[in-house]
Amino acid sequence: MKPHGWIILDKPLELGSTQAVGAVKRNLREAGLLGKGKDKLKVGHGGTLDPLATGVLPIAIGEATKLCGRMLDASKIYEFTIGFGTETETLDVEGAVTETSDHRPTLAEVEAILPRFTGPIEQIPPKYSALKIDGKRAYDLARAGVAVEMKLRGVTIFSLTGRHPELVSGPREVLKQVQDDGLSEITLIAEVSKGTYIRSLARDIARALDTVGHVTMLRRTKAGPFTLERAISLDKLNEIGKGADITDYLLPLEAGLDDIPAFDLTPDQAKLLRQGMTLDEQEMIGNPALNGLFLATESHGSPVALAELVDGTVKVVRGFNM
């Protein structure tokens, strides 16, 4: 049976998202699960993660790749550390230093500034980013020395909090020192909307504190419904290619849709949706009073389609061939 679902990789440092997809394909191929020709399984990721970042990278296999676009739109949670005193051209540890400052903010100043960066905000993306400008990647233009204008874009920071270990377990004298003395760095936790650049957020927070800074650590702890709890290491992934049972690591397709309701169809209803037909709301057994998106399944739980109820009519958004 072909595997359809999600492998959640705890992506290590210096591995690109495309390389991670390639690693999954290689292991599927070695395990005899990838297939060939028309039967070859598709594999894709649910949101790019920079090589210098670690953490949750959802990788879709088979029919789950039809949900990658939805995963790109999902909110994400990151832990990141801002190193104060230097700003780099890439806004992370990889780039050359472009600006320095001797000022170091106190913990109280950091805590006071965070509400300004919570909620809808505007930010300028890093010039070293994958955004396309006139058909070319911004980072390619930047590396070629081409001056580019990065335009403001609106994003949403749902929550932004600080995490400092001394505040949890340190003695009183250490706590006072952390509060009064300037910080060389601070680790923050942010839940953000799609399109948010953490490197830009770090830059702007540092500048608002009358200093400069760059990201020294970035870890994604949640992407849509997926967390580190079910993520596997690259070593675990490689066990699949050596004969380990993929079902030990594979989450079902519907795990990417746990934020919407599910509804069982009759065999006749499932057949109509698979043929691309529509259903009337009154035909739905039990009249579930669904509204908007839902996962349509057969009575045994197999996904049929991502469907939507609009004005009393059920239409297929994405059909699944499983």
| Contact between residue 186 and residue 162 where contact means Cβ atoms under 8 Å apart | yes
Distance between CA 170 and CA 191 in Å, rounded? 27
Concerning whether 245 is annotated as a catalytic residue, the answer is: no
Sign of CA dihedral 281, 287, 291, 295: negative
In sequence order, the β-bridge partners of residue 7 are 59
From 10, 50, 204, 264, active-site residue: 50
Of 272, 99, 125, which is closest to residue 197 (Cα–Cα)?
A: 125
| Contact between residue 210 and residue 103 where contact means Cβ atoms under 8 Å apart | yes
Q: 182: which 2 tokens?
A: 């300037």
| Sheet of strand 292-297, all strands in order from the earlier edge strand to the far edge | 262-264, 292-297, 303-310, 313-319, 279-280
Total residue length of the chain:
322
Q: Identify residue 305 by its one-letter amino acid code.
A: A
| Contact between residue 294 and residue 308 where contact means Cβ atoms under 8 Å apart | yes
- Please state at what angle helix 17-30 crosses helix 234-241, rounded to 10 degrees: 30
Q: 226: which 2 tokens?
A: 């997926």
| Contact between residue 158 and residue 193 where contact means Cβ atoms under 8 Å apart | yes
Residues involved in catalysis: 50
